[in-house]
Structure 1
Amino acid sequence: MELPRFDWTGPLRPFPISKMRLVPDGIEKPDWALDGIPKIEPDSDLQKRVEIKTPEQIERMRETCRIAREVLDAGARIIKPGITTDEIDRVIHEETIARGGYPSPLNYHFFPKSCCTSVNEVICHGIPDARSLDIYT
């Protein structure tokens, strides 16, 4: 992945980014999975109104939130000095797939990873890479 060139303001520099992880054929994929461009979302009526959820939709949301919490907990359990943000992404990716889900950030507007994570002043929606989590001063 070619990174843009600009003046750096802090001591951190880009690290190598691994290839995009694959999602098995049996997992339902969103409309942006192949080409990175969401098609339904931009024109959806839900962009302009609040939908009143049915009890069934609310129950499905609860189940989805429970699964998301399990996936985030799995990622949190491996965080320690020396681990890379790419390794965190691998766990998030694998845990999502294991539960039958598609990692929603993956290829959304061309984002190449299954979670957003970075260190210090990099950015809040950083791309996981080969940088290890160490104590930065």
Structure 2
Amino acid sequence: MKIWPNILERHGVHARHELCDGSFLEAKQTLHEELDASLVSEVDQDSDLTAYTAYVADEYSDEEDDAPTGAVLEILFSNRRSLAALRYDNPDLSGAFIEWVSCSTVEDALVAWRKKVMAKYTVIDGDTTAINNQRLDT
């Protein structure tokens, strides 16, 4: 997936290899303990961690017959606060980075995150309507 260079620069991350286009299947609920400590720590210092539900979504290549890219998106989503912190970890990047988005569902969090960080939109399986609606809003 093509990420805005300023996003990577702000987090001190660079691409080791060209990033392939990919999409995420639905996020699966998991335990806080299964997420990277940096994401849990960032959310915990900002607010009450118990208000957040943990999710994980694997990225699959749009170019290579849906092969896994090795990239993972970890999500802490708060329905009460309409907020999510998302940590993107891709082996083709020098490190992972965390971005926050406003959203009403975990699915909306994925769309908002893609809109925020992607230099080139790709389709999220089953959610093209949400992307099109958000493009019209901007």
Query: When the two structures are superposed, what TM-score results if normalisation uses the length of structure 1?
Result: 0.22
Q: Indicate the structure whose relative CO is greater, using CA pairs within 8 Å and at least 6 residues apart.
A: 1
Larger radius of gyration: 1
